[in-house]
A and B are shown apart, each in its own frame.
Chain A
Amino acid sequence: MIDALRLTAEEAKKLLDAREISGAELFAAYAERDDDLHAFLYRCDDPGGDGIPIALKDVIGTKGVPTTAGSKILESYLPVYDATVAANCKRHGLRLLGKTNTDEFAMGSSTENSAFGPSRNPWDPARVPGGSGGGSAAAVSGGLAPWALGSDTGGSIKQPSALCGNVGLRPTYGTVSRFGVVAFASSLDQVGPVAKNVRDCAYLYSIIAGRDANDTTTVEVPEVELPTAQDLKGMRIGVPTEMNEADGIEPGVSAAVRKAIELAESLGAEVGECSLPRSVDYGVACYYLVAPAEASSNLARYDGARYGLRSDGDDFREMVMATRHDGLGDEPKRRIMIGTYALSSGYYDAYYGKAQRVRTMIRREHAEVFEKFDLIVSPTSPTVAFAIGEKAGNPLAMYLNDLLTIPSCMAGLPGLNIPCGLSEGLPVGLQLIGPQFAENTLFRAGHALEQALGFDVVPERLR
């Protein structure tokens, strides 16, 4: 009997290698479960083979398998080639379970912006799973996939992992290819793993990371080490005051994170306070200029000309305008307009130009902190999972979900979420951030903490 809710990818591989289960049995253990969480937009048939199954966020192009990015404008789009990360998964024998739900074009923090309806949180189906990669996080915690890939621009891997109680890595910018991935904000977008534990997360990262000639922003990546250490001896962990005492952090979230920090100390880490004085204060404003500006350019390609939806129009311009009106939802429209405004003549210097300088300031503040610390920690999300509909009418309130994940994204830094406890019966996420290319440090610290915390990743109501 395969326990789809609990089985890690590493355990699955052992069972497959020992021939205790067949590839078909393993695939069926996930594929035959009812998706009452609406984690998937599309589920695949078993392609055969003995590899570990995987779910991919629906922004990742998959040859011959629908790839919608959660948008009506791509509802009938069928990629004719695989994204590099999808090809890497195939090369390692990983079998595609399906494509997971996402806020439209990965713009959102709850999956409520998906044109195909929201996903639900496995811990409480009345609540959001986070976003944009809520489908991948819900699938992993809901026993619908052993692991998954997401994409992260300002927190879309880390925040859903926090809200669903699993492990998610936003890798260092440039370590994972975006070739074939639907673009949102290209100076920020990164693909990364979502898993049930840190070792699986590290292993999946090793499968997708590396230079790709088809994405010139990618670089050579240090060899990934699967973590084994149980202690944190010699590890210097910084606790940025502003990220741990920000307005809006729920008391239950603070308490769980504080406990995890104390635990780190008892495992041998040297814990000290530090400061990112302006990164938290100005991070969200900076992000919501830079990301929409890039999005307004990236989404210009959805013009009804070569692929995707086409609406009727008497001339080319009218056709384009009608297509974009009919095919794009409110959030992409808002971001396209904010971005267009911020880049337009007369406003460029005051908005986009200024945001780019704030970005430099954020990078410098982080670099300074990492002169003294190996990594820094904070809550991943200021709150636990909120109710579906609670913030849907207020885009600005929704943007503040990303308060603590955004600063390190702006600086191109890797961030790992691990579950560190419960508040009101819902998972709390601990965010570990390191300097560029410090994934191995994050895995080591995350693994040691995970062992000591003993968090049960199976949602209580499903045990």
Chain B
Amino acid sequence: MAGISKDEVLHVARLARLELSEDEVARFQEQLSAILDAVSKVSELDLADVPPTAHPLEIENAWAEDEPRPCLSLDDVFANAPERDDDYFRMPPA
């Protein structure tokens, strides 16, 4: 694993909706390269016949009756809103 380029750092940050300063790009390029190099260790193993684990318990689907029950009031829902406009969250234009 050769590490991660500056362009790749910027690409990944864009995918993750993270704005990065110049300084952060340089720092993260170095740190992420070292981390990716270390975690690449998983590719040493031949595990083609081993199924993946997404979840450590063998559990079945959990079903619930589709019945209405009390929910948060609108005032509670908007209590932490950065900007409320009537019954909407107000956003900058898309």
Contacts and interface: CB of A to CB of B under 8 A. Distances in A.
Contact of A321 (B12, B19, B55, B91): B19
B79 interface: yes
Interface string A380-418: 000000000000000110010000000000111000000
Contacts of B92: 313-316, 318-319
B70 to A, nearest CB: 11
Contacts of B51: 357, 360
Contacts of A300: 16-17
25 contacts: A174-B56, A217-B59, A285-B38, A288-B38, A300-B16, A305-B91, A306-B89, A307-B82, A308-B80, A309-B82, A315-B94, A333-B24, A334-B28, A351-B39, A354-B45, A356-B52, A356-B53, A359-B52, A359-B53, A360-B53, A361-B45, A361-B50, A410-B56, A412-B56, A412-B57
Contacts of B26: none
Interface of B: 4, 8-9, 12-13, 15-21, 24, 27-28, 31-32, 34-36, 38-45, 47, 50-57, 59, 62, 64, 72, 76-77, 79-83, 89, 91-94
A120 B25 CA distance: 31
A: interface residue count bin: 35 or more
Given A338-B35, A354-B43, A325 B56 contact: no
Q: Which 7 A-B residue pairings sit nearest by Cβ, starting from the closest?
A: A412-B56, A356-B52, A307-B80, A310-B82, A216-B62, A325-B19, A321-B19
Given A81-B72, A337-B28, A304 B17 contact: no
A341 B12 contact: yes
B45 A187 contact: no
Contact of A320 (B17, B43, B47): B17
Nearest to B1: A350
Nearest to B63: A216
B93 A306 contact: no
B17 A338 contact: no
B57 A174 contact: yes
Interface in A196-222: 213, 216-217, 219
Nearest to B14: A321
A313 B76 CA distance: 26
A289 interface: yes
Contacts of A310: 82-83
Contacts of A303: 17
Contact of B56 (A350, A354, A411): A411
A410 B42 CA distance: 14
A361 to B, nearest CB: 6
B17 A341 contact: no
Contacts, number: 176
B16 A357 contact: no
A278 interface: yes
Residue from A284, A303, A304, A325 with most neighbouring chain B CB atoms (10 Å): A325
Given A340-B15, A396-B35, A357 B72 contact: no
Nearest to A352: B52
Given A213-B64, A337-B16, A354 B47 contact: yes
Contact of A316 (B24, B28, B91): B91
Interface in A73-115: 76-78, 80-81
Given A361-B45, A412-B56, 4 more contacts: A319-B91, A321-B17, A341-B8, A351-B39
Contacts of A353: 52
Contact of A351 (B24, B42, B89): B42
A173 interface: yes
Contacts of A316: 91-94
B6 to A, nearest CB: 13
Contacts of A342: 39
Contacts of B18: 321, 324-325, 328, 333, 336-337
Given A80-B72, A359-B52, A360-B53, A340 B12 contact: yes
A309 B82 CA distance: 7
A296 interface: yes
A463 interface: no
A351 to B, nearest CB: 7
B13 A337 contact: yes
A399 B51 CA distance: 26
A334 B40 contact: no
Contacts of A305: 82, 89, 91
A233 B50 CA distance: 38
B1 to A, nearest CB: 9
Nearest to A410: B56
A244 interface: no
A116 interface: no
Contacts of B94: 315-317
A181 B72 CA distance: 17
A219 B59 CA distance: 8
A318 B92 CA distance: 9
A356 B38 contact: no
Nearest to A281: B41
A351 B43 CA distance: 8
A217 B56 CA distance: 10
